[in-house]
Structure 1
Amino acid sequence: MDLISRSMILPSWRSSHGRKEIDSCQLYDIIREVVISKSMEENLVFRLEEGCGLNSPVTTRHLSVSNDWNGDESEFESTVDLSRVRSLTIFGNWRPFFISDKMRLLRVLDLENTSGLVDHHLKHIGKLFHLRYLSLRGCHGIYHLPGSLGNLRQLQTLDVRGTNIIKLPKTIFKLRKLQHVCARGVGSNDECIYQEYPYGVRKLMRNKLCILTSSLAGFCVACYAPQLLKETMGIDGDTNRRDVCTTCCCSYLPRLATRRSPHGVVVPRGIHRLRALHTLGVVNISRRKATLREVARLTGLRKLGVTGVDEGNSGELCLALSKLSSLETLLVQSEGKSGLFECLDGLASPPKNLENLKLYGNLVELPAWSGRLENLAKLKLRSSRIEKHDAAIQILGSLPNLAILCLGKESFKGEQVHLHFQQGAFQTLMVLELSSPGKLKSVCFDKGAARKLELLQYYEQPKAEVISEEDDDQFEQAPSVWLFSGLASLGSLKEVVLKGDNYKGDFVRNLRSQLESNPRRPVLKME
């Protein structure tokens, strides 16, 4: 804040998912130039970019390769003294020579969103014995982690979110200093997947044996002709036959054989040995219930995400959660129509330090213990299909520290969903996000409700059907003109954000009118 007050940096973005007033900042051009100049003088950071040819190798601890640099291996090794590099960050396309045998002291390897990176490029990753941080986040060409990962005995953070990894290697239990395992399997955890087949799929094609047989035939062709099916299978980078075979055997085939949710990763036996773990998730527990018994022994966990919850493993889950007294962040996800219904009722006493809770799946009603979450600051619901709307809002409104409430797709069930924020409720709420929470008909704020609310964000997902221009009811699915009421009484409101374009003019005008009546004159933004 001191740098902002001195006008040295500029606040650039505020997230609706953060409690901090400022989540990121932006440097002025002149300040950026000064920072780069000073970092080069002190040999702290060197940015390898187009046109930076030097007469002698640069000695630096932190190397960043820009996406516009197109040099070759000889230029790479002649420009930087690789033996002194402690941190390497790659932007843009991957080159096989970026990881060199000379980088014996490398501690940080950040390959987030690097394109062209595939499995065989990580073959020798186990030689970087001093590595403490490894990020493969957003590398879609990664389907499998090599067993040599177990050689990285100093590793503290492993981030494989946004990859196609669905199973962690067996050697991971050797990493006794590991503190953070960040994974989520295939796709986003904000997606909801059901087990039913689409209408119109022939019964024969739903047969498991038929699916496996046809898939195996396709995989065999892929292994013998990797380049032919590279684009079809969506594999990125300089792919060889081994990469394609690994992709088929470690990702596609297990998902087809089990028909399980692709969300989350399967952890091997022995995960309980990683006593230093603070972050673990998202873990798919649908295949091995014993995983929960091992997780229960990780009493130092602060962040945990699990998916694949059902009535068969819900008892073990509740037992594990009751033992994780240090837990601060929890994600629980389930797929299909049954979802989380009655799966969390067996938890007699939730973790007392829980601050962030995400529940994805069919709940029908909030768990009985949800009203006792005294330290809960953020709650996100999605596909929960809660039937008793008023009771749920009343429980949430009484939570003493709730600052952020996100009601995602189908949070409520019913032909008419009315959300009533009563006087004295939600006294600590600062951010309210409504993203297609159900068939919403009204959102009413009484005077004295949500006194600290600063940001209201609304999004209504449009229907997929195409409606003709002559149809008088073409805007039937658009929000009602009077959807929101009481905005003028929200004394701390600063901003209302409408996402999407499914809004009638009268609806927007009504919103503007309410905001103009508010003494603080909140801003209306449309994204």
Structure 2
Amino acid sequence: MLSIVRVSHEGRNSMEKGSIPFVVSTGVNSSRHKNILTRTETMATLEESRLIGRGNEKEEIIKLISNKDLQRFRVISLWGMGGIGKTTLVRDIYQSQEISSMFDKRACVTVMRPFNPVTLRGSLVVQLGGKDEKDLRRCLEGRRYLLVLDDLWSRVEWDAIKQYLPETAASCIIVTTREENIAKHCSKDERNIYKLNHLGLDDACTLFTKKVFKETVNLDEQYPELVEQAKLILKKCRGLPLALVTIGGFLASQPKTAFEWRKLNEHISAELEMNPELELIKAVLLKSYDGLPYYLKACFLYLAIFPEDYMILRRRLVRRWIAEGYSSEVRGRSVEEVLDSYFMELIGRSIILPSQQSIHSRKGIDSCHVHDLIREIAISKAMEENLVFTLEEGCSLNNQGTVRHLAISSNWNGDQCEFENILDLSRLRSLTVFGNWRQFYISDKMRLLRVLDLEGEWELVDHHLKHIGKLVHLRYLSLRGHASVFHVPNSLGNLRQLQTLDISGTSIMKLPRTIIKLVKMQRILASGIGTEYTGLYDPDVPALLRLPLCSALCCVACCAPGIFTEELYLEDDAQFNRRDVCTAFCCNILPYYAAGGQNPGGVEVPSGIWKLKALHTLRTVDISAGKAVLQDIKRLTRLCKLGLLGINKRNSQELCSTIACLSGLESLSLDSRRETGLSGCLDGVSSPPENLQSLKLIGNLVKLPEWIQGLKNLVKLKLEWSRISEHDAAIQVLGNLPNLATLRLLDDSFAGEEVGFSFRQEAFPCLKVLQLDWIGNLKSVGFEEGAAPKLELLQYIGWINDFRVGLFSGLACLPSLKEFMLYREHWVKTEFVEHLRGQLAENINGPVLKSWQ
């Protein structure tokens, strides 16, 4: 059955010349009328947005279609989340006079569910002048044609129609889809894959106000009382055209008062659910959720745990999914690899959005966020299934019954009675606290708890963890970011199911002996406040880390306990008691200063750590105390990621032997802050791990170890404080690494009176990211023709006097360059910036110059 939407009666002849509306191909099931209605309404709703904020995108896609240098058959894929305006954009392009004269035949269809290939082919034939669906190939054979296939949902749909489409020279097919993997399946050439992003704030505001007021208005001048509420609406819509137009259309018929707009903002969830004028938004976005395979639905609903606007770290999310049992090993791939692929699949389906593409991640995306309106769907569905409940100000105190995941907002101020009466704690699988800690949050009733995520920077201290050993089913425990936590209790040894322990950013310097009982442990993550967080020498660190004050407090606390009350408010409202103070001093502060204040950020592990045979991530371990810990680590043959500090001449031979034994290592970080650093400590590595992909060397090296040139699988390299003097030789070695994609040369990684980098022809064949930060005496960075052909991002941070005209040369020779990131552009002389802009302007790829603070 064919359902033709807004097709004129003039028939087929006009289809080849004039403006051709979309034909909708449907199936025959009873839901087709709802599908057609939703699709038609969406197209009509977005009609007014077709020229607002999409001028550049339209121009670029038309350029792809009309490129005379590509007189061959090609498929152009346009992808992005539902409601982003894909259909509106391609329809505007399709109907443009510029395009219509270029082709002998044109047709476009929007594919509806359920998919029926016969019906789809028939829809195309109607427009192309054939008689029935069998005539499709004959209609197109030997002719230059343009086809638009709108809203593909699977590779199967593409494969079912592609076989009927001849690859005639200079012909073009445009497909739109919500999923990146489908876009890549249809268009094998990356140059023909185009992601449609959200509108910028200015364009979003223009579109919204035009829909509300029927004209473009300046809210600041004409309606100042509406500005605050308008900002909240724009934030909620986050540049999604469908939401902007739909909400704008609804408000156009309402009184233009702050009261009405505030009412909408405060009840947006209910309005999306019940308001017939807004239900289109949810209907369109819900299709993305409904189209998810079963294994992704649970992963997506899990995101309802996190607050609005929260940046969710990929690693944190994946480790939590592992603890929840959301997948298992598949065909030789580890659980982490499988769930990493789930994360990237959610990105590729536009269900979650990348927060930033990071140079710190081998996978390119470190974190994500959820569009506010998509998040409303996640919350609604999660509550329907009793999956997630959030304790926050104003939440209902009626008994919520059984939920699996509890999140506690920073603005909830209830007491223990309210907490225990709200829901059945005995069935909880995860507890996530986003601030405002109460000791009763850890309850004996949480007998089945698998995930306890306390990551943050609020008033958590040692004695709050005294009951942690009762949570015997715990698989994931995170204390990340709590600088006022100095000690993990011995009862940690009761957590026999624990897989991940994250104490990064805490003041914990030593793990309890009992940890060797946790034979299921897979990840121990420790990097103290001296590295990723505030340094021990920093005046802004917690008061307990300041030696004179600590000494006085600890003497009083230990020798004259009657002077102190049970709880001490020393700084930042942290409620320390006497035991906390004593523990901090005896277990952390005194040993740190006794060691000369060196190796901040590491953690000592007890002997016998080799018993944790399941460990595949262990960092960062302080090995300065002796060789025994290295002998233990050498026996952890499943290790994939290892971080060590405290390296010196005494333990260097054992270190090299350990590295050689750990043949499965994929990531290795070696750190020595002493004066001699790593110099001469790494030369004894006879056979480095063959599969090593990430290497970080922090500390004085003087020259690169020879074995680095054999790291054929190395993807990411970071050098810091290495003070390498042989600049040309080192860059030549690194340039020959065949898979190196990210190179980070940081503080004093190279030294000398004059430091110069010459990137020669054919060097760095796979390099995508180059970071140059605080390299002293840097005089020149030059790129020859053919060097770093895949380099996309170049980042530079330097001292004020380092920004000289001519510092960078050959930028025009980098064919893939997209961005030059410059730190604090206002520091830099105008001549330097103009020289950079001039080089970038000569680059055919059109890279942009960006700056950040």
Query: Residue type of the partner of 1:251?
Result: N
1:253 paired to 2:578: no
Bigger Cα displacement from structure 2, 322-331 vs 56-65? 56-65
Q: Which of 450, 471, 482 is the matching residue for 2:788? A: 450
1:491 is aligned to 815
1:371 is aligned to 709
1:105 paired to 2:448: yes
Number of residue-to-residue matches in the alignment: 496
1:131 paired to 2:455: no
1:415 paired to 2:753: yes
- Cα distance in 2 for residues equivalent to 1:127 and 1:114: 24
- Cα distance in 1 for residues equivalent to 2:812 and 2:797: 20
Query: Residue type of the partner of 2:471?
Result: L
- Cα distance in 2 for residues equivalent to 1:271 and 1:278: 12
Q: Which of 154, 158, 170 is the matching residue for 2:501? A: 158
Say if 1:496 and 1:287 are closer, same or farther in 2 by CA, change over 3 A. Answer: same
How much identity, in percent, do the aligned residues show? 57
Say if 1:483 and 1:186 are closer, same or farther in 2 by CA, change over 3 A. Answer: same
Query: Residue type of the partner of 1:517?
Result: E
| Residues 3-402 of structure 1: pairs in structure 2 closer than 5 A | 8-188=351-531, 216-217=551-552, 219-221=554-556, 223=558, 224=561, 237-259=574-596, 260-402=598-740
Query: Residue type of the partner of 1:404?
Result: T
- Cα distance in 1 for residues equivalent to 2:844 and 2:578: 66
- Cα distance in 1 for residues equivalent to 2:525 and 2:754: 39
Tell me if structure 1 keeps the 8 A contact 2:354–2:367: yes
Tell me if structure 1 keeps the 8 A contact 2:460–2:484: yes
Q: Which runs of 5+ in 1 are unaligned?
A: 195-210, 463-474
Cα shift at 1:88: 0.6
Query: Residue type of the partner of 1:508?
Result: V
1:481 paired to 2:818: no
Secondary structure of 1:239's counterpart equals: strand
Tell me if structure 1 keeps the 8 A contact 2:547–2:589: no
Secondary structure of 1:55's counterpart equals: coil
- Cα distance in 2 for residues equivalent to 1:396 and 1:293: 31
Query: Residue type of the partner of 2:632?
Result: E
Tell me if structure 2 keeps the 8 A contact 1:478–1:504: no
Say if 1:190 and 1:309 are closer, same or farther in 2 by CA, change over 3 A. Answer: farther
- Cα distance in 2 for residues equivalent to 1:169 and 1:359: 28
- Cα distance in 2 for residues equivalent to 1:4 and 1:23: 12
- Cα distance in 1 for residues equivalent to 2:433 and 2:366: 23
Say if 1:105 and 1:8 are closer, same or farther in 2 by CA, change over 3 A. Answer: closer
1:502 is aligned to 827
Q: Which runs of 5+ in 2 are unaligned?
A: 1-178, 181-345, 538-545
Bigger Cα displacement from structure 2, 493-502 vs 408-417? 493-502
Cα shift at 1:25: 3.4
TM-score by structure 2 length? 0.56
Say if 1:247 and 1:22 are closer, same or farther in 2 by CA, change over 3 A. Answer: closer
- Cα distance in 2 for residues equivalent to 1:228 and 1:443: 60
1:516 paired to 2:851: no
Query: Residue type of the partner of 1:288?
Result: G
RMSD: 2.3
Tell me if structure 2 keeps the 8 A contact 1:165–1:186: no
| Residues 454-469 of structure 1: pairs in structure 2 closer than 5 A | 454-460=792-798, 462=799
Cα shift at 1:257: 1.7
CA displacement 1:248-299 (0-9 Å, x = unmatched): 1111111122224223011111111111100111000101221101100111
Bigger Cα displacement from structure 2, 177-186 vs 494-503? 494-503
Say if 1:522 and 1:228 are closer, same or farther in 2 by CA, change over 3 A. Answer: farther
Query: Residue type of the partner of 1:241?
Result: R
- Cα distance in 1 for residues equivalent to 2:503 and 2:409: 22
Query: Residue type of the partner of 1:125?
Result: I
CA displacement 1:424-454 (0-9 Å, x = unmatched): 0000000000111221111001110000000
- Cα distance in 1 for residues equivalent to 2:586 and 2:619: 23
Secondary structure of 2:697's counterpart equals: strand
Tell me if structure 2 keeps the 8 A contact 1:140–1:236: no
Cα shift at 1:142: 0.5
Secondary structure of 2:650's counterpart equals: coil
Say if 1:229 and 1:486 are closer, same or farther in 2 by CA, change over 3 A. Answer: farther
Higher relative contact order (CA closer than 8 Å, sequence separation 6+): 1
Secondary structure of 1:313's counterpart equals: helix
2:184 is aligned to none
Query: Residue type of the partner of 1:174?
Result: K
Structure showing greater radius of gyration is: 2
